[in-house]
Chains A and B, each alone.
Chain A
Amino acid sequence: MNFNIRMGLPEMEALWNDLSTRKLQGKLDKDEEKLFKKLVKALGYLAQNPRHNSLASHEIDDLTRKYGIKIFQSYLENNTPSAGRMFWAYGPDKGDITILAIEPHPEDQKRGAYQRLKLSAIPSKQVKHQG
């Protein structure tokens, strides 16, 4: 069974329209080209089988609890730490999958990435020896 892939409104639809239009016009830059290629490949897998091995799809319990509907996460690439991810849910109709959001690849290998590292307060009673 093939699923219909839909984009969430309004931002995901705008993002997809922008990327696909510029792809057809050949106006994507290098990073956007890479992201679009991964996105199309992942969406192809998702349409065929949402549980495809390459996607490593799994439900995000916190988001499911927050929004009241089942929210799934799939990876845009394989064997890559901190890979790009997309969030999706079934619906609005049967046989539909709606892409809700995309979390692109974090820029952790570029110059200046150290300054952009985000640190958060350590959770109480979870102090572990690191590095």
Chain B
Amino acid sequence: MQVGRYDKLLWRGKAFPSPLLRARLPIPAGTPRNAPPALAAVEPPELQAIRHARFCAKALCLQLPPEPRFELTMVGNPTILLIMPAATLQRPKKLGPTIVDQYDIAADAKKRIILRKARTKYFHVKALSNGSFLLEPRVLVSPEAVSARSLKMLDKSVASLKKGLASAPIDLSAFIEA
């Protein structure tokens, strides 16, 4: 029987023809009405090759990905590769800040409140329109940091120095003696 398109479903490795195709397949006499037809008669050579490869892999105790539950067609290049497992690792979730302590507090006569267990000395405070205050820890700028003005001066001086340009040697004798 000539079938132009192999239109069938795979379910757990067993082939079942689609209802339309099944209606056109020859059913041997005495076969129950709901029984599947002879699979070898409808299985194309490509699917037989895949089934044979899986059988050999099982015999060699190779790790294979789970079988696809449904494969609608076998037309053209296969889109499901048996030897290429899908990535199933979940990306690590980024954890935000968590609440480690919370308490009620009253401002004193000068409307000051005391932070308990503050881990930094300096804070940046944002007063929000709803009466909330947002505190972010800050550190003092390192004294080793170079100011923007000095960096600008450095940029120009280094650019000149790389071109071999610098001032004439300075004479300190007058100032040192004075």
- Closest CB of chain B to A126's CB: distance in Å? 8
B121 touches A130 (CB 8 A): yes
A-B contact pairs, 13 of them (CB 8 A): A6-B167, A8-B167, A9-B156, A9-B166, A12-B157, A20-B175, A40-B172, A67-B154, A87-B146, A119-B139, A128-B119, A130-B121, A130-B139
Instruction: Give the total of B residues in contact with A, Cβ under 8 Å.
Output: 35
Chain A residue numbers with a CB within 8 Å of B150 are: 87, 101-103
For the complex, count residues of A whose C-beta is within 8 A of B: 50
Check if A112 is an interface residue, CB within 8 A of chain B.
no
**B176 close to chain A: CB less than 8 A:** yes
Q: Are A103 and B138 in contact (CB under 8 A)?
A: no
Binding site for A on B (CB under 8 A): 119-122, 124, 136-141, 143, 146-147, 150-151, 153-154, 156-158, 160-162, 164-170, 172, 174-176
Closest Cβ of chain A to B45, distance in Å, is: 60
Q: Is the CB of A118 within 8 A of B140?
A: yes
B170 nearest in chain A by CB position: A5
Q: How far is the CA of A81 from the CA of B144 in the complex (A)?
A: 11
Q: Is the CB of A8 within 8 A of B138?
A: no
Q: Does A35 contact B (CB under 8 A)?
A: no
Whether A98 lies near B161 (C-beta < 8 A) is yes
B120:A127 contact, CB within 8 angstroms: yes
B52 CB → nearest A CB, Å: 56
Task: Please report A residues at the B interface, Cβ cutoff 8 Å.
Answer: 4-13, 16, 20, 23-24, 36, 40-41, 43-44, 47, 63, 67, 69, 71, 81-82, 87, 89, 91-92, 96, 98-103, 106, 117-123, 127-131
Please classify the interface of chain A as helix (H, G, I), strand (E, B), loop, or mixed, using the class held by over half of its residues: mixed
Evaluate contact between B158 and A69: CB separation under 8 angstroms: yes
Find the B residue at minimum CB distance from A14.
B167
Known contacts A8-B153, A40-B175, A129-B119, A89 near B167 by CB under 8 Å: no
In the bound complex, how far is the Cα of B158 from the Cα of A63, in angstroms?
11
A9 and B162 CA atoms in complex are apart in Å by 11
Interface centre among B121, B122, B154 (most CB of A within 10 A): B154
CB pair B124 A119 closer than 8 Å: yes
In the bound complex, CA of A70 to CA of B137 (Å)? 35
Task: Compute how far the CA of A24 lies from the CA of B172 in the bound complex, rounded to whole angstroms.
Answer: 12
Shortest beta-carbon distance from B137 to chain A in Å: 4
Bound state CA distance, A56 and B168, in angstroms? Answer: 26
Q: Check if B120 sits within 8 Å of A63, measured CB to CB.
A: no
Question: In the complex, are the beta carbons of A89 and B158 less than 8 A apart?
Answer: yes
